[in-house]
Amino acid sequence: MRIAYLHSGSIPSVYANGVHVMRMCDAFTDAGHEVVLYAPPGTAPAEDVHAYYGTRNRFEVRTVARPRIPGLGVWIRAWRVRADLRRRGVPDLLYGRDLHALLAASDLAPLVYETHLLWRDRVVRGIERLLFGRRNLRRVVFVSQALADDYRRAFPQLDSLPQADLLTAHDCADPVPDGGPPAGLPGRPGALRIGYVGHLYPGRGTDIILDLAGRLPEAEFHIVGGTATDREYWQSRCGQSNVRFHGHLPPAELSPYYRAFDIVLAPYQRKVFCAEGVGGTGEISRWVSPMKLFEYMSYGKAIIASDLPVLREVLDDGANCLLCPPDSVDAWADAVKRLAEDRALREALGAEARRRLHERHTWRARADQVLPTPVELTGKRR
């Protein structure tokens, strides 16, 4: 099948949505489909976008810029994408997260809309409502069940769509082989290495990590990720000598860091923010499906995560992780000490996390899950 993936975020970039999109295009290609990704020009330096993300396949990435015209730039870009699709031959399926381009091209081919948050902006919701009414819509994909439930409440029409299915598909990770060299991390030899990979936006728990480092001076804490501005902000507030900020790294270069960690953290708070409040939505704690959790799982790491309802869709306290109240540093410190003293528990939690990743949460399996069948592409429901 020929698939055009329509994305509104820049490729390459330092943001998680770019990783998600590239992983999905890679998985579609693994499944035997011909994929072309449409995205705005990159905002991160990279001579080779596939090397930057570490993809297995070199699917085509076509950049279409958005003119800087307030209110109209997104629509001009959307119609340019549509024109390019027609010029190059209409694909069998339009897939993506770019509302404007999907709507502009919605008469050309069957389409799947994937969403990772519920927009509060009335204009954006109006565009979604129009998209949900399109005859070519075949599927709406939600990144968490909590998000699917909220969409159903916001858009009652979804449950009565005659031609489209609603599907929850969490984020994923690729299985990784055993072995491989760990990163040569700075710090004291033999000290417990506690890692965090991800952005440093408000609500991501960076303050919890710094508090933990102060309470556990015998451990070494490694923070990988964050924009230069966010990293400088937190570094200026960090007085602990056992905290190392490694900054943003290309996704292809993260593997040695995951391998080097003994324990990994996902200290999401009760309010979690994404990169920008686009469409009036910056707070995503109800719906978040963090890719780093799945990457932690793929490396068989002992995870300590916040006890939030949406994370319990994937995590099971005492089975594949330890869960803690988001804002209780005492509970987080106790969990770290428990794992530090019990290597067998660390290994058991990591092994179960990895098993569930392989069983339920690989990008390749997700690719098959989200794509309509040939019968569904004709508009017939199962």
Q: State yes or no: pLDDT of 219 exceeds 50.
A: yes
Cα–Cα separations (whole angstroms), residue 278 to 9, 164, 216: 12, 27, 38
Which phi and psi (to 5°) does residue 111 adopt?
Answer: -140, 155
CATH assignment at residue 40: 3.40.50.2000
Same domain for 368 and 341: no
Q: What is the pLDDT of residue 288?
A: 80
pLDDT level of residue 380 (50, 70, 90 thresholds): low
Contact 194, 265 (CB under 8 A): yes
Q: What is the pLDDT of residue 86?
A: 97
Asked whether residue 115 is assigned to any structural domain, the reply reads yes
Same domain for 349 and 236: yes
Average pLDDT of span 93-102: 97
Asked whether residue 254 is assigned to any structural domain, the reply reads yes
Same domain for 341 and 208: yes
Q: What is the pLDDT of residue 375?
A: 81
Q: What is the pLDDT of residue 161?
A: 82
Same domain for 206 and 167: no
Contact 267, 209 (CB under 8 A): yes
Same domain for 198 and 160: no
- In tens, the pLDDT along 233-269 reads 999 999 899 999 999 999 999 999 999 999 999 999 8
Asked whether residue 350 is assigned to any structural domain, the reply reads yes
pLDDT level of residue 162 (50, 70, 90 thresholds): confident
pLDDT level of residue 43 (50, 70, 90 thresholds): confident
- Nearest Cα residue to 241 out of 220, 265, 223, 212: 220
Same domain for 157 and 26: yes
Same domain for 253 and 138: no
Asked whether residue 181 is assigned to any structural domain, the reply reads no
Q: What is the pLDDT of residue 285?
A: 75
Domain containing residue 53: 2-171+363-377
Asked whether residue 213 is assigned to any structural domain, the reply reads yes
Q: What is the pLDDT of residue 277?
A: 38
Question: Strands across the sheet with 243-247, in order?
Answer: 243-247, 220-224, 193-197, 263-266, 302-306, 322-324
Same domain for 335 and 210: yes
H or E element in which residue 87 lies: helix 73-88
Buried b (16+ CB within 10 A) or exposed e, 185-217: bebeeeebbbbbbbbbbebbbbbbbbbbbbebe
- Nearest Cα residue to 222 out of 196, 189, 184, 250: 196
Q: Which residue has the tokens 């991390």?
A: 185
Same domain for 367 and 349: no
Q: Give the CA radius of gyration of the chain.
A: 21
Q: How far apart are CA 369 and CA 195, in angstroms?
A: 31
Asked whether residue 179 is assigned to any structural domain, the reply reads no
Asked whether residue 355 is assigned to any structural domain, the reply reads yes
Average pLDDT of span 343-368: 97
Cα–Cα separations (whole angstroms), residue 366 to 29, 130, 357, 361: 12, 26, 12, 7
Q: State yes or no: pLDDT of 276 exceeds 70.
A: no
Q: State yes or no: pLDDT of 222 exceeds 50.
A: yes
Same domain for 339 and 201: yes
Domain count, the chain: 2
Same domain for 139 and 261: no
Higher pLDDT, 285 or 342: 342
45 φψ region: left (φ > 0), alpha (ψ -120 to 50), beta (else): beta
Average pLDDT over the chain reads 93
Local structure of 197: helix, strand or coil = strand
Give 24-28's long-range contacts (Cβ < 8 A, gap of 24+): 24/363, 24/366, 24/367, 25/55, 25/57, 25/59, 26/53, 26/55, 26/56, 26/57, 26/59, 26/363, 27/363, 27/364, 27/366, 27/367, 28/3, 28/59, 28/95, 28/367, 28/371
Same domain for 154 and 98: yes
Average pLDDT of span 117-122: 90
| Token pair in block for residue 141 | 């994909």
pLDDT level of residue 32 (50, 70, 90 thresholds): very high
Q: What is the pLDDT of residue 382?
A: 43
Asked whether residue 29 is assigned to any structural domain, the reply reads yes
Q: What is the pLDDT of residue 246?
A: 96
